[in-house]
Amino acid sequence: MAIGMGLGIKQAATNAFFPLSPLHLPFFLRHSFLPFRLHVLATDIPRSSAFSSFGTSSVNIMSWPCLLRNGYGRVQMSGRQDIIAISSWNAAPCKSRSVVAAASAETLVTKKERPSAGNSSAIEKKDSDGPDRTSWRPSIDFKWIRDNKDAMAANVINRKTAADVEKVVQLYEQSCHLRGEVDKLRAERNAVANAMKGKVEASKREELIEQGKQLKERLAGLEEQLTKISELLYFEGQRIPNTTHPSVPIGPEENAVVRKQVGVKREFTFPVKDHMELGLALDLFDFEAAAEVSGNKFYYLKNEAVLLELALINWSVAQLTRKGFVPLSTPDIVRSNVVEKCGFQPRGQNTQIYSIEGTDLCLAGTAEIPVGGLYMDQIVSNSVLPLKLVAFSHCFRTEAGAAGSATRGLYRVHQFSKVEMFIICCPEHSEAFHEELISIEEELFDSLGLHFKILDMATEDLGAPAHRKFDIEAWMPGLDRYGEISSASNCTDYQSRRLNIRYRPVSEALAVKKVKGSLPPLQFVHTLNATACAVPRMIISILENYQQEDGSIIIPEVLQPYMGGLGFIRARKL
C-alpha cells in the first residue's frame, strides 16, 4: 500500500520542527504490524502544551485537532483526552517514541508495540458519540470559489442547494485578513524576542517585556477569532456542491435528457402481472414475515430468487473482473466521518443512514463509501492510476420520507445487495471514464435483454458530490413505467478533497530521494461511481419482463450458467 507522507507542515514563527526525519519512517513501517496513524489537521490553534512532554524536543503544533487511532480504538484529541492519549503513546517503551508527526496534510507514523496496559486506558476507551464536526476538514478550494463566485452562486441556484456562496467568500476573506494580521503580530513578537537576546538596557528590557506581553495578548485574541471564523468557513463551505458539467440540463428531475434508448418494450399477449404478484405466486419472497421480524420494507428472498440474486452478483462481478476491475468485498459498517467524506449525511432528521448505537459507526448505504475509504488519506502513485474497482456489499437505507406507489414490493427497500463500480483517476481522464462506466452499464443491462433509457440527469437531481450523473431507467411492465436501475456519477474532486486522496501528476512519485523542490505539487484525484447491479431492481426487471402467460419466468440466458443451467422459474407443486 502506498504511504502518504504529506510533510507540508505549517511552520509557526517559533520554528516548529520534526524530531524525526522522514527518512527514518520506512524502518518503522517495515517492522511494524499494527499501524498507527496520527492525523493532525490544520485549524491553526497553537497548542504546544499537549506535545511538550515529548522526549526529544518540544514541538509547537499549529494544527488541530488530532485523531489518534491505534490497535484498540480511536481517541479524539480535544480537551484533556488528547494529552493522556499522547503521553500514554509516548510512554510506551518503543523506538518510535520520538516520532512526532504534524502536518497540515497528514503523515503516517507507526510503532510496533502496543502501549502498556496501564497507560492506554484513554486509548482503549471508545470515543463518545458527540458531533464529530471538527475531527476532519475538507480541502475546499476557497480561493477558487472566491475567484468564481458568480458561477458558483449560479450553480448553487441551478442545483437548488442550501449553500450560501456569498457568505463563504466573505468568511474566506475575513479569515485571510485575520491570518495576515496574526502572521504580522507573530513576526513582531519574534522581533521583540530576538531583540531581548543580546545585551539590553534594563529600561529597554522592561519596555520590550511589556511590548511582548501586549503582543501576546493581542495575538491570543486574534487567534481565537480566527478559529471561530475558520470553523464557520468550513461549516458553510462544506455545503457548497460540486461544480456542474456544462452539458447537464438545468432544472428539476423532469428536465433530464434521454441520451439513448436501448431495446423496445416487449409486447404482451396476456395481462401482465407485477413482480409482487409473480413473486408471491412462485414463492420467491416473504414480505409479511420480514415485517414481523425486521420491519416494513424488509424482505426474505426465497427459492429461485436467492439463486437469481447470487447469479446476478456473480455474473456482474465476473463481467467486470474480466474488464480489469479489481473485485472487492467491503465492510458494510463504516465510521460516520467516512460517510460524511463521501458527501452523505450520516446524522440528523431524514438521514438515509442507520447509525450503530454507542459508536461512531454507520451502515453503509452503498459500497461507494467503503470503496472511497479504501484509499482515504493516501497519495496514490501515478503509475497505478486509473484504479478500477468493483465491490459487492449489502446496502442499508432508512428510506426516511419515501412514500408512494413506487415503494411497493422490492422497489424501495431497507436492505439490498449491490455490485458497485468505482474509478479513481487523474482529472484529465474522468470524463472519458464516466463514458466508459455508462457504456459498461449499457452492455450489462442489454445482455440481460432489458429495454431501458439512459438519462443525463438534471441539476436539481444531482446531489452534492456529482459533477454529472447518468441514470438508467428500465422498462418495468408490471409497474407500467420506467424505473431507475442504476446511476453513474462523476464526482470529480468533491470526494477526494474530503477523503484526502491525492496523486503526484508527473512521472513516478517515488521521489523521496530526489531534490524536494523539483516535485510537482500533489493533486486531488477524481472519483467516479456507477451501479453494476442493484439486485432487487434487477429482480423486478427480470420477473416483469420475462414473465410467461402461465406465470413462469424465463431466466435470461447470460444468467443461466450461474444458476446451474436453470432456464425457468416455475410454480412448485405442493
CB of 247 to a copy of itself, least distance (A): 33
**If we measure between CA atoms, which residue out of 465, 386, 473, 395 comes closest to residue 438?**
473
CB of 365 to a copy of itself, least distance (A): 13
Is residue 106 at the binding interface for a copy of itself, with CB under 8 A as the rule? no
Strands 415-425 and 333-335: unpaired
State the Cα angle at 346 between 394 and 496, rounded to 5°: 85
Give the whole-angstrom CA distance, residue 158 versus residue 60. 45
Exposed e or buried b per residue across 412-423, where buried means at least 16 C-beta atoms within 10 angstroms of its C-beta: bbbbbbbbbbbb
CB of 319 to a copy of itself, least distance (A): 13
Q: Which of residues 316-375 bind a copy of itself (CB under 8 A)?
A: 317, 321, 326-335, 338, 354-359, 361, 363, 370, 373-375
In the sheet with 74-77, reading across from the earlier edge strand, the strands are 74-77, 66-69, 35-40, 107-110
Secondary structure element (H or E) that encloses residue 154, with its range: helix 149-158
- The residues, any chain, with a CB within 8 Å of residue 275's CB and separated by 6 or more, are 409, 410, 476, 478, 479, 539, 540, 543, 544
Is residue 415 at the binding interface for a copy of itself, with CB under 8 A as the rule? yes
Helix, coil or strand: residue 317: helix
Q: Which is nearer to a copy of itself, 257 or 291 (CB)?
A: 291
Contact yes or no for 445/236 (Cβ under 8 A): no
Contact yes or no for 422/440 (Cβ under 8 A): no
Is residue 180 at the binding interface for a copy of itself, with CB under 8 A as the rule? no
Give the whole-angstrom CA distance, residue 197 versus residue 148. 48
Is residue 28 at the binding interface for a copy of itself, with CB under 8 A as the rule? no
* C-alpha cell belonging to residue 535: 439486485
CB of 257 to a copy of itself, least distance (A): 35
Among 65-73, 94-102, 477-485, 544-552, the segment contacting a copy of itself (CB under 8 A): 65-73
Q: Which is nearer to a copy of itself, 229 or 563 (CB)?
A: 563
Is residue 263 at the binding interface for a copy of itself, with CB under 8 A as the rule? no
Q: Which is nearer to a copy of itself, 335 or 412 (CB)?
A: 335
Q: Which is nearer to a copy of itself, 66 or 192 (CB)?
A: 66
User: What are the phi and psi torsion angles at 66 (to 5°)?
Assistant: -105, 145
Is residue 397 at the binding interface for a copy of itself, with CB under 8 A as the rule? no
Distances (CA, A) of 157 to 104, 116, 150, 240, 401: 33, 55, 11, 11, 24
CB of 98 to a copy of itself, least distance (A): 23
DSSP class per residue in 214-237: HHHHHHHHHHHHHHHHHHHHHHHH
Give the whole-angstrom CA distance, residue 116 versus residue 87. 11
Q: Which of residues 417-436 bind a copy of itself (CB under 8 A)?
A: 417
Among 263-271, 299-307, 506-514, 548-556, the segment contacting a copy of itself (CB under 8 A): 299-307
Is residue 217 at the binding interface for a copy of itself, with CB under 8 A as the rule? no
Is residue 295 at the binding interface for a copy of itself, with CB under 8 A as the rule? yes
Give the whole-angstrom CA distance, residue 81 versus residue 232. 24
Q: Which is nearer to a copy of itself, 61 or 395 (CB)?
A: 395
Among 167-175, 249-257, 303-311, 513-521, the segment contacting a copy of itself (CB under 8 A): 303-311
Residues 166, 217, 292, 557: which binds a copy of itself (CB under 8 A)?
Answer: 292
Residues 151, 187, 289, 510: which binds a copy of itself (CB under 8 A)?
Answer: 289
Q: Which is nearer to a copy of itself, 285 or 445 (CB)?
A: 285
Amino acid in the structure at residue 359: T
**If we measure between CA atoms, which residue out of 541, 496, 548 comes closest to residue 523?**
496
CB of 103 to a copy of itself, least distance (A): 17
Q: Which is nearer to a copy of itself, 187 or 326 (CB)?
A: 326
Q: Which is nearer to a copy of itself, 50 or 374 (CB)?
A: 374
CB of 415 to a copy of itself, least distance (A): 6
Among 137-145, 205-213, 300-308, 525-533, the segment contacting a copy of itself (CB under 8 A): 300-308
Give the binding site for a copy of itself (CB under 8 A). 1, 35, 37, 69, 71-74, 286, 288-296, 298-303, 305-307, 309-310, 313-314, 317, 321, 326-335, 338, 354-359, 361, 363, 370, 373-377, 392, 394, 396, 414-415, 417, 562, 564
